[in-house]
Chain A
Amino acid sequence: MTAVEDPAAPVDAPAKEVGQARRRKEDARLITGRTTWTDNMVLPGMLHLAVLRSPVAHGRITHLDVSAAKERGGVVAVYTGRDLAEEQGSLPCAWPVTPDMVNPGHPSIAVDQVNHVGEAVAIVVARSRTAAADALEAIDVDYEPLPVVLDMEQAVQDGSPLVHDSTSSNTSYHFVFDAGEAGTGADTDGAFADAEVTVSRRFVQQRLIPAFMEPRSVVVQPSGDSYTMWSATQIPHILRVMAAMVTGIPEHKLRVIAPDVGGGFGGKLQVNPEEILCLLIARRLGKPVKWTETRSESLMTAHHGRDQVQFIDIAADRDGTVRGLRVRLLADMGAYLRLITPGVPALGAFMFPGIYKFPAYRFECDGVFTNKVPTDAYRGAGRPEATFAIERIMDELAVELDMDPLELRRKNWIGAEEFPFTTVAGLEYDSGDYHQATEQALQLIGYDELRAEQRRRRESGDPVQLGIGFSTFTEMCGLAPSRVLGSLAFGAGGWEQASIRMLPTGKVEVVTGSTPHGQGHETAWSQIVADQLGVPFEDVEVLHGDTAISSRGLDTYGSRSLVVGGTAVVKAAEKVVQKARVIAAHLLEASEDDLEFTGGKFTVRGTPGAGVGIQEVALAIFAAHDYPEGIEPSIDAEATFDPENFSFPHGTHICAMEVDTETGFVKIRKYACVDDVGTIVNPLIVEGQVHGGLAQGIAQALYEEAIYDADGNLTTGSFVDYLVPAASDLPHFDTGNTVHAATSNPLGAKGVGEAGCIASTPAVVNAALDAVRHLGVSDIRMPLTPERVWRAVHQGGDGGDRAAAGSNAQGASAAEAAAASTDPSSNGSHL
């Protein structure tokens, strides 16, 4: 990390664990794989599931014969949707964003009809994973094809074929936020009617695949009438509640464990069909079962992200003062509503105004059904889409006004002296300094020099042009105040829980309800507790992810862990100290009021030498031979924290991009960002999160796109065609921080998990456009493939659709697929 000293940061804070770049204590086991990954679980008598998946996007199941598969060696049972129809219920959607939202229900396994390629049609249970996979071939299925609905803009037209017969249109909901009606702003239509300048654009947020490293995996072990489920999930606590409600297994008879989990990015913030199916089948058979997906299954059937068409209008005065913002979205739900499918674009509603002082704002969103896998949370979930739209349209407005894009931003952003600031969307931004972050980022990237080089290249007509793009972003993190979530019709609260157990030897167990899947909670929580209790970092163990150990929690997403879960840890630690203080006073024969607690030790003010460590108190109260009357013999404590506000990280990201106008190839020349994520607990973790976030945000801009062909098959069904960049494809990142503590939690932390991913995408696209705008290019669709850039430069337009046929980079697959597959309407695809 490039260190940027913040003159506002407190310099006299005690040099403790918080703020140290501790190496993560969990990494050795995670990196070597010698840990409790779900697929590493082996239980006696365990059976294995393989899922037959629909090769058609929309069709009625007219014939399904599993009898031959049942005869295969090692096969124990084969189930169809018909077999499980009475008990499978519907997968839950916890976010009905409008009262009249249409939710057609979501079976875990198709019964009569399939609505997207990859939907489960039959399940083989066998004694080995290979036997289960082999037996899929013996299942005979016929489908009667139905018209396939893929394009949102066509799907919402009258007369479009319907994804679900039971609905009257493909629109699930129409969500509106109008600042005029909400009382947080002026009338938007009026603002536009009076405006001197308006700019309108249509942006496309392509469909993305979360592509977590560890594929999903589930193990269920029945024991009497109780069940233990291990799952590679981000949300064991939410999963337990939901799975109990779906299956009818009483909640107290269901224990869910998320052991070590290899990434999620929102993709494991889900109640998956296979989790329910494993429970149902384990219940039927009374035996432990395991299902682990293949990478192909993961790309095809785990939920996707983004996929919006954005119609953005901005109104301004000629001098650049913004007057109004109007947003209309089409958001692709896919075939079903999963856990928070409808809420993702609605959450974004509050972020479109960004850091700018819009007096008027209106947001409308239609959630649209298509015959594709459902969308749901993906790193940023609603906020990257909003940030992209506002940061792109600000550049377009700057061009319209012939203003410098940074000058336009400066003119409209919230001043440092204006915090806390209530935006036109009704959010109260806590703290920050957009000017300071921007100035530091400009220095980091060497802005003036790059602009000079850009001029030189333009003047000389260099085939390689240079562009510079900005993203001055903010986001809402620390999900979330429970009352606010309630007002948004979200199905749960946003609190978090922690407990601290002081062991007799003075070691400390911290139980967190915020379940990590790679973020480094064990290290960060240890640092926090080490400071709070004055115990060594190494003496702290962090427990998580098992509902029998961590009984209450709301898990990890939305950059909430440190802000909400970390605060719960602080609150629990404060209670431990309070309880210990009473006992220490008793042991020291002093008044509680005379005790000081520093460095893990209670001392008596004015009595040098008299003191007792908190770890000694732990032993004393374990023995409990001598403690005050009227209290319990324990200094353990728990706390639940419900934030009063979100936190609002912000930052300035600057990308310098080379565009080869001869080939369309784009290459990031330099990337600098200065993020304000509030107080930093561990700079190494923060930098890692920023790097990873940048990689994913840049990947949306340049590489990743889930493409379906005209029949609804996922063309980008492997990593050959769904391009996830590696380190070799990414530039060096110059990163820095400013620190303005969050005001809504005692740590002052704002959250960093999504910042890089949210901020970077528009900076990259703005940079590419800045390089070629003088050649007449005003938009290029993401990802900026070389072909799209080349077409935009040489043929006009935004680069258009990519050919949806398979890549011949698949090598043998195309030719051999033709030879190997039979009629797709009468066979399941096997993976």
Chain B
Amino acid sequence: MIPAPFAYARPTTVEEALQAIADGGEDVKVLAGGQSLIPVMRLRLAAPETVVDLTRVEGLRGVREEGDQLVVGAMTTHADVLTDPLLARYGQLVVQATETVADRQVRRRGTFGGALAHADPAGDLPAVALALDAEFVIAGSGGRRTVAAADFFVDYLTTVLEEGELLVEIRLPKLGEDWGVRYEKFNRVAQAWSIVAVAAAVRREGGRIAEARIGLTNMGPTPLRASATEAALVGVDVSMETVTAAAAQAAEGTSPSNDLNAQADYRQHLAQVLTRRAVAAAAGL
């Protein structure tokens, strides 16, 4: 398991990183935590000409508050996420999902931004970012641009990031105490990817659901929203009956894959069951 030879750059600023990517030749890979990139390089499924390692870049790690948003640096590790006080208060959905990512060693190196830019539909964080309508701040040679989560994920392992660009931070809405959240993950062994998972955030007003945001993990080539279920939940009384009825629509518009862990029809069934469970838990049932 030895990677093919590659050139290596370890910049210390975003500007240097962008330059290193520009200078890196035909096939440049950005190494954030390396928890997906290094295995495929070792298997020689990827053989980049240059690897640009972001681990020494200043200012990309950590979480800060800006108005009603949390700004998470792209190089914030999963372990950082789990111990961050702002996320503990306003970002419980991110925290819950991050707790399920792989194992302790991977969480120590793997990064929030790396996982999102990798855009593995079986990864846990893309669906969470989509459910929360996160904003992705992207740096390029011409400056910075901000992209909505709905536009960020384009296809299987493909995002709106262009060659020569870097994801530098992710802006998340602060969810207040009127929100309940739940990340419901279904897999066979603890460290495995999700077969299906559901990220749910529910805002209650009295005995009714005012707003529901539901992201689906691994139900298609990109993370998806369970839009029909979200719509069906708005304004309904909080009860198992209403949640169950709405969750029955969770698989609408999904196109999950057939693979070793599950065939598509079973994944669609799971999406309904897990959505019901996630929404019920988020709604306090």
Q: A-side interface residues toward B, CB under 8 Å?
A: 129-130, 133-134, 137, 294-296, 662-663, 665, 703, 707, 715-716, 718, 720-721, 723, 725-726, 728-729, 785-787, 790-791, 802-809, 811-813, 815-817, 820, 830-831
B121 on interface, CB distance cutoff 8 Å: yes
Q: How far is the CA of A294 from the CA of B257 in the complex (A)?
A: 29
Closest B residue to A830 by beta carbon equals B44
A807 and B46 within 8 A (CB): no
Interface residues of B in 156-175 (CB under 8 A from A): 156-157
Known: A790-B269, A791-B266. A812 touches B191 (CB 8 A): no
A812 and B157 within 8 A (CB): yes
Interface residues on B, range: 35 or more
B259 on interface, CB distance cutoff 8 Å: yes
The 8 Å CB contact of A811, one of B5, B103, B123, B258, is B123
Contacts of A715 in B (CB 8 A): 260
Closest A residue to B221 by beta carbon equals A808
Closest 4 CB pairs of A and B: A809-B193, A728-B190, A294-B1, A133-B2
Closest B residue to A294 by beta carbon equals B1
B8 on interface, CB distance cutoff 8 Å: no
B270 and A663 within 8 A (CB): yes
Q: How far is the CA of A731 from the CA of B218 in the complex (A)?
A: 28
Closest A residue to B37 by beta carbon equals A812
Other than the known A134-B4, A703-B189, what 4 A-B pairs have Cβ atoms closer than 8 Å?
A786-B188, A787-B262, A805-B258, A808-B259
Q: How far is the CA of A802 from the CA of B40 in the complex (A)?
A: 25
Instruction: Enumerate 11 A-B pairs (CB-CB under 8 Å) in ascending A order.
Output: A663-B186, A663-B270, A723-B192, A729-B190, A791-B266, A807-B193, A811-B118, A812-B36, A812-B45, A812-B157, A820-B46
Contacts of A808 in B (CB 8 A): 120-122, 156, 218, 257, 259
A817 and B45 within 8 A (CB): yes
Secondary structure type dominating chain B contacts:
loop
B243 on interface, CB distance cutoff 8 Å: no
Closest B residue to A820 by beta carbon equals B45
Q: How far is the CA of A294 from the CA of B42 in the complex (A)?
A: 10
Q: How far is the CA of A813 from the CA of B260 in the complex (A)?
A: 15
Contacts of B36 in A (CB 8 A): 811-812
B260 and A812 within 8 A (CB): no
Q: How far is the CA of A380 from the CA of B42 in the complex (A)?
A: 34
B122 and A809 within 8 A (CB): yes
Closest A residue to B257 by beta carbon equals A808
Q: How far is the CA of A634 from the CA of B103 in the complex (A)?
A: 57
A809 and B45 within 8 A (CB): no
Q: How far is the CA of A48 from the CA of B152 in the complex (A)?
A: 46
For residue B229, give the distance in angstroms from its CB to the closest CB of chain A. 17
Contacts of B103 in A (CB 8 A): 726
B195 on interface, CB distance cutoff 8 Å: yes
Q: How far is the CA of A707 from the CA of B259 in the complex (A)?
A: 12
A129 and B2 within 8 A (CB): yes
Contacts of B37 in A (CB 8 A): 812
B261 on interface, CB distance cutoff 8 Å: yes
B43 on interface, CB distance cutoff 8 Å: yes
B189 and A802 within 8 A (CB): no
Q: How far is the CA of A820 from the CA of B43 in the complex (A)?
A: 11
The 8 Å CB contact of A295, one of B1, B2, B188, B259, is B1
B263 on interface, CB distance cutoff 8 Å: yes
For residue B109, give the distance in angstroms from its CB to the closest CB of chain A. 15
Known: A295-B1, A809-B122, A812-B118. A785 touches B258 (CB 8 A): no
For residue B256, give the distance in angstroms from its CB to the closest CB of chain A. 9
For residue A644, give the distance in angstroms from its CB to the closest CB of chain B. 44
Q: How far is the CA of A790 from the CA of B267 in the complex (A)?
A: 11
For residue A572, give the distance in angstroms from its CB to the closest CB of chain B. 44
B14 on interface, CB distance cutoff 8 Å: no
B106 on interface, CB distance cutoff 8 Å: no
Q: How far is the CA of A809 from the CA of B118 in the complex (A)?
A: 13
B47 on interface, CB distance cutoff 8 Å: yes
B9 on interface, CB distance cutoff 8 Å: no
Known: A811-B120, A813-B45, A816-B40. A665 touches B260 (CB 8 A): no
Q: How far is the CA of A816 from the CA of B37 in the complex (A)?
A: 11
B18 on interface, CB distance cutoff 8 Å: no
Q: How far is the CA of A134 from the CA of B263 in the complex (A)?
A: 37
For residue B218, give the distance in angstroms from its CB to the closest CB of chain A. 7
A716 and B266 within 8 A (CB): no
Q: How far is the CA of A815 from the CA of B5 in the complex (A)?
A: 21
Known: A662-B273, A703-B188, A726-B191. A804 touches B118 (CB 8 A): no
B156 and A296 within 8 A (CB): no
Q: How far is the CA of A130 from the CA of B269 in the complex (A)?
A: 47
Closest B residue to A791 by beta carbon equals B266
Contacts of A723 in B (CB 8 A): 188-189, 192
Q: How far is the CA of A785 from the CA of B260 in the complex (A)?
A: 10
Contacts of B270 in A (CB 8 A): 663
Closest B residue to A715 by beta carbon equals B260
Interface residues as binary, B246-285 with A (CB distance below 8 Å gives 1, 0 otherwise):
0000000000011111110010011001100000000000
A296 and B1 within 8 A (CB): yes
Pick from A725, A804, A812 the residue with the most CB of B within 10 Å.
Answer: A812
For residue A75, give the distance in angstroms from its CB to the closest CB of chain B. 15
The 8 Å CB contact of B46, one of A294, A804, A816, is A816
Contacts of A721 in B (CB 8 A): 260
Known: A723-B192, A808-B122, A811-B40. A134 touches B5 (CB 8 A): yes
B188 and A811 within 8 A (CB): no
A820 and B258 within 8 A (CB): no
Pick from A129, A803, A804 the residue with the most CB of B within 10 Å.
Answer: A803
A804 and B123 within 8 A (CB): no
B1 and A831 within 8 A (CB): yes
For residue A816, give the distance in angstroms from its CB to the closest CB of chain B. 5
A804 and B40 within 8 A (CB): no
Contacts of A813 in B (CB 8 A): 39-40, 43, 45
Closest A residue to B155 by beta carbon equals A815
For residue A731, give the distance in angstroms from its CB to the closest CB of chain B. 13
Closest A residue to B256 by beta carbon equals A808
B261 and A787 within 8 A (CB): yes
Contacts of A725 in B (CB 8 A): 189
B40 and A812 within 8 A (CB): yes
Contacts of A803 in B (CB 8 A): 258-260, 262-263
Closest B residue to A133 by beta carbon equals B2
Closest B residue to A728 by beta carbon equals B190
For residue A521, give the distance in angstroms from its CB to the closest CB of chain B. 31
The 8 Å CB contact of A296, one of B43, B121, B191, is B43
Contacts of A134 in B (CB 8 A): 2, 4-5
B263 and A787 within 8 A (CB): yes
Contacts of A805 in B (CB 8 A): 258-260
Q: How far is the CA of A283 from the CA of B212 in the complex (A)?
A: 71
Known: A787-B266, A806-B260. A815 touches B193 (CB 8 A): no
Q: How far is the CA of A824 from the CA of B37 in the complex (A)?
A: 23
Q: How far is the CA of A721 from the CA of B191 in the complex (A)?
A: 12
B47 and A820 within 8 A (CB): yes
Contacts of A718 in B (CB 8 A): 43
